[in-house]
Amino acid sequence: MTENTQTTQGDAFENLLLEERSFPPTEEFAAHAVAQPSLYEEGKAGPEFWAAQARDLLTWDEDFTQALDFSDAPFAKWFVGGRVNAAYNALDRHVEAGRGDRVAIHFEGEPGDTRSYTYAELTEEVKKASNAFLSLGVEKGDRVAVYLPMIPEAVITMLACARIGAVHSVVFGGFSAEALRNRIDDAEAKLVVTADGTYRRGKPSALKPAVDGALEREGHTVTNVVVVKRNGEPVEWTEGRDVWWSDAVGTASAEHTAVGHDSEHPLFILYTSGTTGKPKGILHTTGGYLTQTAFTHKNTFDLRPESDVFWCTADVGWVTGHSYVAYAPLVNGATQLMYEGTPDTPHQGRWWELVEKYKVSILYTAPTAIRTFMKWGRDIPKKYDLSSIRVLGSVGEPINPEAWMWYREMIGGGSAPIVDTWWQTETGAHMIAPMPGVTHTKPGSAQVAVPGISVDVVDEMGESVTNGSGGYLVVREPWPSMLRGIWGDPQRFKDTYWSRFDNMYFAGDGAKRDKDGDIWLLGRVDDVMNISGHRLSTTEIESALVSHPSVAEAAVVGASDETTGEAVVAFVILRGSAVDDDDIVTTLRNHVGKEIGPIAKPRNILVVPELPKTRSGKIMRRLLKDVAEGREVGDSSTLSDPTIMAQIAQSLRK
Ligand code: WT7
């Protein structure tokens, strides 16, 4: 384990060993569960098990001839020779099967405006968007950058790209113009789809200016920008480049026949932070991704598409919003809720009001949200009828047992099973999760591998640990929805995930097995932070800070935070010239906001005279983390100058 995480991991480990509670499914739930215990046995067949799932869950234009080709490991090919269209599977086939009148998406905007799309209506919109993109010159294989809020057009855009074989690259709206430009350049996007803006906390919030900013500098690959009118705020317009969605899509033909793409045809790129300053473009392809997202959506959530209302609260800018908003629920023919805004607008009961109004039966959200609701108090959810809830999901970071219990009691009526799902942008779909109705759930643990998935906890040498011990989380066998690489950088793919241990995928997480063999996640073991379930890189924020003329050096750590899990704390050494700026901290926070986005702004920036470094020049983040978390500073004997921690402490007291 790297230096900086050892202490926290140790603490987490000790505390979790004390957790002994376990909740069996109710008899009624178990009797009617979608997931059958036999899946675990069947899953042992590996690729053959997945081949059966692929044929059962998807409609193929051409059947595949081989389940898995891993001869060029670690590059995998799943369902070789098969042809499949993601949008056809998410849309047309439900209409053809007579389910066109079922609601696919209930949309609720933050101001309270609503729209519902049936499967027939959504299919028509996606066909129109496909034709619009084609007429703007987008061809199969071209990349399309998507910079949209949580509105149905985001899903429509993603599915239209998939339909015509264009590769979408969704960039979260909380990223800055600079970050958007980097992603546009890396993927060489031809088209950008955006909106004038959205609503945030009751006010209009702009998006289009960031796109304008991103494209200001010459030398990009973008030929058109399609703009959805969402909040009606005035926008700048570049003639010849910018096109209103209502003009491009609104007037397009609703006739479009989907054709199957190769199972390994790229479906999307999604950028995520790694341990270096440059985000990685995680590449996912079609057949395997759709199979595993659909399988897990059905079995982890006990999905009954004819009666459930599924609500995944994640933004489409993150992988959760890809797999469990844009793809799996629609491939499975479910009805889902999509909400644009914040949980406390216009009041702190908004989510529960929505659950009551739409009779949400499966809710999938992040621990950071649950902890926020805990802070707001029990009286708020108590005011609403939440009796429609039957399954609760958690994702993005370890869920602490207190939050788990609160979720179960306050939202789940004391009986709804909680499924804590561990996975990553790279894994594409759930990898570790209990199965409701089968698994006896434990507060704080993701517990067991999904059927057909081979995860393990290993020691430094790559040997499986014994029950009761901790180590590194790995995946031992290729899985259908695994990333197929890093866009444009095959070497980085090998180095990042496949070089730490022989023939195993290294996830970057610490984990332990309890006495029953169940898996508990303990957080990242690398320089990646997890802020409110969003991944941020320490190095990326450090690079942003040192790009400011006032900063000589910077070190960033993730410090534990009661609500957000971790928070960004930065230590900076200023250049002599910067001393005049009274408000250097605000200046630097805004600078990080401009370079990366508001989500990356440090909670605290501490100005220090020096940074603690080893003799080889490596920053000892572990010591800075001690300072940031207000702990006594640990062993600093390997510092090149052992007095530095005292100097830092003194400068902070001033
Ligand atoms: C990292 C992946 C998976 C979608 C959202 C985040 C952490 C994710 C859990 C969980 C403990 C979790 C891990 C992982 N993580 N889910 N249930 N329990 N930790 O996707 O941005 O790719 O981040 O999130 O550290 O490596 P991501």
pLDDT tens digits, 612-642: 998 888 889 999 999 999 888 888 888 888 8
Q: How confident is the model at residue 17 (pLDDT cuts 50, 70, 90)?
A: low
Alpha carbon nearest to ligand 1 atom 24, residue: 396
Q: Let me know: does 412 contact 443? Beta carbons within 8 Å.
A: no
- What's the confidence (pLDDT) of residue 586? 95
Whole-structure pTM value: 0.94
Q: Residue 641 to residues 90, 481, 614, 647, 653: CA-CA distances in angstroms?
A: 60, 48, 8, 10, 20
- What's the confidence (pLDDT) of residue 5? 39
High-pLDDT (> 70) share of the chain, %: 97
Q: How confident is the model at residue 12 (pLDDT cuts 50, 70, 90)?
A: low
What is the average per-residue pLDDT within 77-102?
98
535 is in an annotated binding site: yes
For the cut 50, the answer to whether the pLDDT of residue 294 exceeds it is yes
- Per the prediction, the chain carries an average pLDDT of 95
306 is in an annotated binding site: no
Alpha carbon nearest to ligand 1 atom 6, residue: 396
Alpha carbon nearest to ligand 1 atom 5, residue: 396
CA of 508 to the centre of ligand 1 (A): 10
Q: Angle 47-57/287-300 helices, nearest 10 degrees?
A: 80
Instruction: Give me 389's structure tokens.
Output: 């809830």
- Please tell me the CATH superfamily of domain 548-653, with its number: ANL, C-terminal domain (3.30.300.30)
Scanning 534-620, the segments in alpha helix (DSSP H) are 538-546, 584-595
Residue 394 CA: nearest ligand 1 atom is 17
Of residues 155 and 15, more confidently modeled: 155
CA of 162 to the centre of ligand 1 (A): 25
Number of neighbours of residue 22 by Cβ within 10 angstroms: 13
Domain ranges of the chain: 548-653
Alpha carbon nearest to ligand 1 atom 2, residue: 424
**Spatial CA neighbour of 331 closest among 84, 132, 39:** 84
Q: Let me know: does 552 contact 577? Beta carbons within 8 Å.
A: no
Alpha carbon nearest to ligand 1 atom 21, residue: 535
Instruction: Give me 559's structure tokens.
Output: 């410090």
Scanning 501-549, the segments in alpha helix (DSSP H) are 538-546
Residue 319 CA: nearest ligand 1 atom is 4
For the cut 90, the answer to whether the pLDDT of residue 576 exceeds it is no
For the cut 90, the answer to whether the pLDDT of residue 215 exceeds it is yes
- What's the confidence (pLDDT) of residue 650? 86
- What's the confidence (pLDDT) of residue 15? 66
Query: Which residue type is seen at 546?
Result: V
421 is in an annotated binding site: yes
Alpha carbon nearest to ligand 1 atom 16, residue: 396
- How far apart are the C-alpha atoms of 346 and 203, rounded to whole Å? 11
Residue 523 CA: nearest ligand 1 atom is 25
Using one digit for the tens of pLDDT, what is the confidence trace for 395-422? Answer: 999 999 999 999 999 999 999 999 999 9
Number of neighbours of residue 651 by Cβ within 10 angstroms: 13
Alpha carbon nearest to ligand 1 atom 18, residue: 398
631 is in an annotated binding site: no
For the cut 80, the answer to whether the pLDDT of residue 6 exceeds it is no
CA of 523 to the centre of ligand 1 (A): 8
Residue 507 CA: nearest ligand 1 atom is 26
Omega within 30 of 0 (cis) for the link into 346: yes
For the cut 80, the answer to whether the pLDDT of residue 338 exceeds it is yes
542 CB-near residues (< 8 Å, 6+ apart): 277, 554, 555, 556, 570
Give me the phi and psi of 244, to 5 degrees please: -70, 140
- What's the confidence (pLDDT) of residue 16? 67
491 CB-near residues (< 8 Å, 6+ apart): none
510 is in an annotated binding site: no
Using one digit for the tens of pLDDT, what is the confidence trace for 563-572? Answer: 999 999 999 9
Pocket-testing residue among 320, 327, 535, ligand 1, by greatest number of atoms within 8 A of Cβ: 535
- How far apart are the C-alpha atoms of 247 and 229, rounded to whole Å? 11
- Residue ranges lining ligand 1, Cβ < 6 Å: 272, 318-320, 395-398, 420-425, 446, 507-509, 521, 524, 530, 533, 535
- What's the confidence (pLDDT) of residue 20? 86
- What's the confidence (pLDDT) of residue 14? 60
**Spatial CA neighbour of 12 closest among 548, 636, 586, 523:** 523
Burial 291-307 (b: 16+ CB within 10 A, else e): bbbbbbbbbbbbbbbee
What is the average per-residue pLDDT within 323-340?
98
Using one digit for the tens of pLDDT, what is the confidence trace for 581-613? Answer: 679 999 999 999 999 999 999 999 999 999 999
420 is in an annotated binding site: yes
- How far apart are the C-alpha atoms of 163 and 127, rounded to whole Å? 8
What is the per-residue DSSP string for 627-647?
HHTTPPP---TTBSSTTHHHH
Question: DSSP character for 249?
Answer: T
For the cut 50, the answer to whether the pLDDT of residue 496 exceeds it is yes
Residue 422 CA: nearest ligand 1 atom is 17
For the cut 90, the answer to whether the pLDDT of residue 8 exceeds it is no
509 is in an annotated binding site: yes
Pocket-testing residue among 16, 292, 521, ligand 1, by greatest number of atoms within 8 A of Cβ: 521
For the cut 80, the answer to whether the pLDDT of residue 3 exceeds it is no
Q: What is the CA radius of gyration of the chain?
A: 24
For the cut 80, the answer to whether the pLDDT of residue 388 exceeds it is yes
CA of 422 to the centre of ligand 1 (A): 6
Characterize the bridge pairing of strands 391-395 and 418-421.
parallel
Q: Let me know: does 63 contact 82? Beta carbons within 8 Å.
A: yes
For the cut 80, the answer to whether the pLDDT of residue 382 exceeds it is yes
**Spatial CA neighbour of 526 closest among 540, 537, 515, 542:** 537
**Spatial CA neighbour of 370 closest among 394, 349, 336, 386:** 394
ipTM of this model?
0.99
Q: How confident is the model at residue 9 (pLDDT cuts 50, 70, 90)?
A: very low
Using one digit for the tens of pLDDT, what is the confidence trace for 121-144? Answer: 999 999 999 999 999 999 999 999
422 is in an annotated binding site: yes
257 is in an annotated binding site: no
- How far apart are the C-alpha atoms of 310 and 315, rounded to whole Å? 15
Residue 528 CA: nearest ligand 1 atom is 25
Q: Let me know: does 156 contact 272? Beta carbons within 8 Å.
A: no
Number of neighbours of residue 15 by Cβ within 10 angstroms: 12
Alpha carbons within 13 angstroms on the beta-carbon side of residue 578 total 18
- How far apart are the C-alpha atoms of 465 and 639, rounded to whole Å? 32
Using one digit for the tens of pLDDT, what is the confidence trace for 461-475? Answer: 999 999 999 999 999
Q: How confident is the model at residue 42 (pLDDT cuts 50, 70, 90)?
A: very high
What is the average per-residue pLDDT within 229-240?
97
